[in-house]
Chain A
């Protein structure tokens, strides 16, 4: 057997795990590991400009590829800088392995230079974490880390590696385990057949059914099964913010995103349904609005890999714990083989109602006035990219506009921080995707507030030639905050202005990229065409949009799902 140092074992284990890129930043405690990286070429390292960006790069890749992203940082500040990125991945169940170097084990507990208890700091925001106590354990710990991060309900795993575990001159026998066994961990591999039958019976009896699909469908790679089931049953489908693309947005049966900024028709359909089939969704407070008034006449079937997601906020009637693809396959078999079918007559009148809601409001907005509307910018982006780009986003109004007006027909294409709502996520996430999918258009929809939270990564883009496109919906304000202040604080705009915006043109050019500024609607499409035609350049499109625009529909706080403001003046 081969003899390797701890540092070499770590990198070799990554390579044996099939890792091509890792994202990170060096420092004292990580130097043996960085030296091991230097002496090989299988695993490539991307040097970011801030560790938070390394986590978002890994995260963007993980969401697009459906595989764990890998981060490597030094101890202390390197490790603490990853916290926001770990929390972001945790909230959206993204598989990630974060390797944090640590001070030598004999110094732990002595407040040594750059010592932080990162296991303790990250404890509430990880799926699991492990410390290396003995260099020989490294291959097994890495195998476990990937297994835990990627199986069941995915999530981030932190590995803490004291410097003396990676000493270059101490060598050990290396072999990478093919399997791990964990007696205390075993996510469900199959849904309960009796429960699945019960669910199918309920579907056949339903008069106003709706499919409510969440991010779990994408994580569980079950879009095809979901779509097939929806097609066979001919029922309306709504996707959550995390589930966009799980069901194709351009399909006739799609009623749009649901929830706080969901479509009128999606929220009405949910509220009036008599059966909700929730797949890989978690009844988040941004979806349900007031749970006491949630869908008063609906029975609920809930399919999820995580038992703790079931009946956490809304009590459900038929829980099914299992991988969504397997459960949907079994449901499909039952539906196809059944003597019964869904009640056709009831469905016809249900569709008449749903189509009426679609026709009543849709996603219209007022496009008068001198300004470009942010909605127009997203519609133009959709047109120019032919609906086929990877779209990452930051957090705010621009994020909601992107989710509402870009019609995602494929899973893994809409990449946003839904659970944590992390400003600064968009650019590094786009970089992680572009690096791994160089032939695809990757665009980050951002706002001038969010963009400045990880703006330093423009430098990383230069170094690694990452020609992402950036669409800045520039409303010269922390727009979403301002919208809430307009609605709830009599327009007292406490600190929601960006009073001294940089000259983005100069800034982008200083980093060696291209910037375009668009002020007139007439120039919007041609500017975007121009930007996307520059295949090998990063192009920043600074689009000046109406600063007074609000995101609608918007659910009314403490109301039911159907209680919405539809514009500044209309309410349901």
Chain B
């Protein structure tokens, strides 16, 4: 099963490498990883998506909790949550293709954020599935470059991950 684990981490040098190191050291898988500062300057928020059996996920959360710099964590997939990923994609777009790509982008509520006579740069926001679907819809031949941000997530409703 795919899990999204959200971690509050001390904003200190070396903390991130400990988290990443843990995953490779213990043979856990990382599908995506994002990290950035929070409203509290002493904390970073890290989101990692991973795949594993219940037993493995339990170990991942326990081992993460053992790291001294991990202040708190939550497995977002255990409850209602919102997840978003950002995609920037550069595609070949000339002649009749241009209108076709524009239509596809509209269907996905994507935005063309830069263009040249032969290239569109498009931004898509959504779940990872939606981003996958968009790339498929565009078709392999015209894709020049793909940049994905990795998943960020937050619990729905009143629930917060804070101190």
Chain A interface residues toward B at CB < 8 A: 119-120, 123-124, 127-129, 131, 148, 182-185, 306-308, 311-312, 315
B38: interface (CB < 8 Å): no
B66 x A184 contact (CB < 8 A): no
Q: Looking at A129, A184, A307, A311, which has the most chain B CB atoms within 10 Å of its CB?
A: A184
* Residues in A neighbouring B29, C-beta threshold 8 A: none
Min CB gap B5→A, angstroms: 15
Q: Give the Cβ gap from B106 to chain A, nearest Cβ, in Å.
A: 46
Taking a contact as CB atoms closer than 8 A, the residue among A124, A184, A315 that contacts B69 in the complex is: A184
- A311 / chain B contacts, CB cutoff of 8 Å: 55, 58
Most central of B10, B58, B59, B63 by chain A CB within 10 Å: B58
Q: Are B70 and A123 in contact (CB under 8 A)?
A: no
Q: Are B163 and A183 in contact (CB under 8 A)?
A: yes
Is A182 touching B68 in the complex (CB atoms < 8 A)? Answer: yes
In the complex, which of the residues A120, A129, A184 contacts B10, with contact meaning CB atoms closer than 8 Å? A184
Q: Kindly identify, within residues 65 to 109 of chain B, every residue whose CB is under 8 Å from any CB belonging to chain A.
A: 65-66, 68-72
Expressed in whole angstroms, the minimum distance between the Cβ of A565 and any Cβ of chain B is 31
B136 contacts chain A at the CB level, 8 A cutoff: no
Contact between B14 and A184, CB atoms less than 8 A apart: no
CB-CB under 8 A for A306 and B66, given A120-B17, A183-B163: yes
Cα A306 to Cα B65 with chains together (Å): 11
Closest chain-B Cβ to A165's Cβ sits at a distance in Å of: 15
| Contact indicator B55/A183 (Cβ below 8 Å) | no
Interface residue? B18 (CB, 8 A):
yes
Given A120-B17, A184-B69, 19 more pairs with CB closer than 8 A = A123-B17, A124-B25, A127-B68, A128-B68, A129-B14, A131-B13, A182-B68, A183-B71, A184-B10, A184-B68, A184-B70, A185-B68, A307-B62, A308-B59, A308-B65, A308-B66, A311-B58, A312-B59, A315-B55
Distance of A140 from chain B, by nearest CB (Å)? 14
Contacts A182-B68, A184-B70, A311-B58 hold; do A131 and B14 have CB atoms under 8 A apart?
yes
Pick the contact of A119: B14, B25, B72 (CB < 8 A). B14
Min distance, Cβ B68 to any Cβ of chain A, angstroms: 5
Q: Which residues of chain A are within 8 angstroms of B14 by Cβ–Cβ distance?
A: 119, 129, 131
Instruction: List residues of chain A with CB within 8 A of the CB of B68.
Output: 127-128, 148, 182, 184-185
How far is it, in angstroms, between the C-alpha of A311 and the C-alpha of B58 when the chains are bound? 9
Chain B: CB-nearest residue to A127: B68
8 contacts between A and B (CB under 8 A): A128-B68, A129-B14, A131-B14, A185-B68, A307-B62, A308-B66, A312-B59, A315-B55
Q: Across the interface, name the chain B residue whose C-beta is closest to A309.
A: B62
A residues in contact with B21, CB < 8 Å: 123-124
Nearest-Cβ distance from residue B19 to partner chain A, whole angstroms: 11
Q: How far is the CA of A525 from the CA of B152 in the complex (A)?
A: 70
- Residues of B contacting A307 with CB < 8 Å? 62, 65
Which listed residue, A124, A148, A184, A308, touches B62 by the CB 8 Å rule? Answer: A308
Closest to B42 in A: A183
Tell me the complex Cα distance, A131–B25, Å: 22
For residue A185, which residue of chain B has the nearest CB? B68
Query: Which residues of chain B are within 8 angstroms of A131 by Cβ–Cβ distance?
Result: 13-14
Residues of chain A contacted by B65 (CB below 8 angstroms)? 307-308
- Report how far A202 CA is from B69 CA in the complex, Å: 38
Distance in Å from the Cβ of A338 to the closest Cβ of chain B?
32
How far does the Cβ of B96 sit from chain A's closest Cβ, in whole Å?
A: 53
Residue of A306, A308, A315 contacting most chain B CB atoms (<10 Å): A308
| Bitwise interface map of B from 143 to 163 toward A, beta carbon under 8 Å scored 1, else 0 | 000000000000000000001
Give complex CA distance A306, B66 in Å: 9
The 10 closest A-B pairs by CB, nearest first: A308-B62, A184-B71, A128-B68, A124-B25, A123-B21, A307-B62, A185-B68, A308-B63, A308-B66, A124-B21
CA of A415 to CA of B58 in the docked complex: distance in angstroms? Answer: 33
Neighbouring A residues of B18 by C-beta, 8 Å: 123
| Nearest CB on A from B64, distance (A) | 9
Give 1 or 0 for each of B90-131: 1 = CB within 8 Å of chain A CB. Answer: 000000000000000000000000000000000000000000
Q: Chain A residues with Cβ under 8 A from B55's Cβ?
A: 311, 315
Chain B, range 5-56, C-beta contacts under 8 Å to A: 10, 13-14, 17-18, 21, 25, 55
Question: What's the minimum C-beta distance from B25 to chain A, rounded to whole angstroms?
Answer: 5
Alpha-carbon separation in the docked complex, A482 to B63 (Å): 37
For B72, the chain A residues whose CB sits under 8 A away are 184
Bound: A129/B10 CA distance, A: 14
Cβ of A267 to closest chain B Cβ, rounded Å:
25
A119 to B17, CA, bound (A): 10
Q: Which chain B positions have C-beta within 8 A of A315?
A: 55
Q: Which residues of B contact A124 (CB under 8 A)?
A: 21, 25
* Nearest residue, chain A, Cβ from B10: A184
Query: In the complex, A131→B13 CA distance in Å?
Result: 9
Give, as a whole number of angstroms, the nearest-CB distance from A185 to chain B: 5
Neighbouring A residues of B70 by C-beta, 8 Å = 184
Q: How close is B38's CB to chain A, nearest CB, in angstroms?
A: 14
In the bound complex, how far is the Cα of B18 from the Cα of A185, in angstroms? 15
CB neighbours of A183 from chain B (8 A): 71, 163
A120: B residues at CB distance < 8 A: 17
A315 and chain B: residue at smallest CB distance: B55
The distance from the CB of A184 to the nearest CB of chain B, in whole angstroms, is 4
Which chain B residues border A185 with CB–CB below 8 Å?
68
Nearest-CB residue, chain A, relative to B13: A131
- Which chain A residue shows the least CB distance to B22? A124
Residues of B within 8 A of A148 (CB): 68
Question: What CA separation (Å) do A185 and B33 show in the bound complex?
Answer: 23
**Nearest residue in B to A152 (C-beta to C-beta)?**
B66
Select from chain B the residue with minimum beta-carbon distance to A187.
B66
Cβ of B62: which chain A residues have Cβ within 8 Å of it?
A: 307-308
The docked-state distance in angstroms from the alpha carbon of A124 to that of B13 is: 16
Greatest chain A CB density within 10 A among B65, B68, B70, B72 is at B68
Distance in angstroms from A320 CB to nearest chain B CB is 15
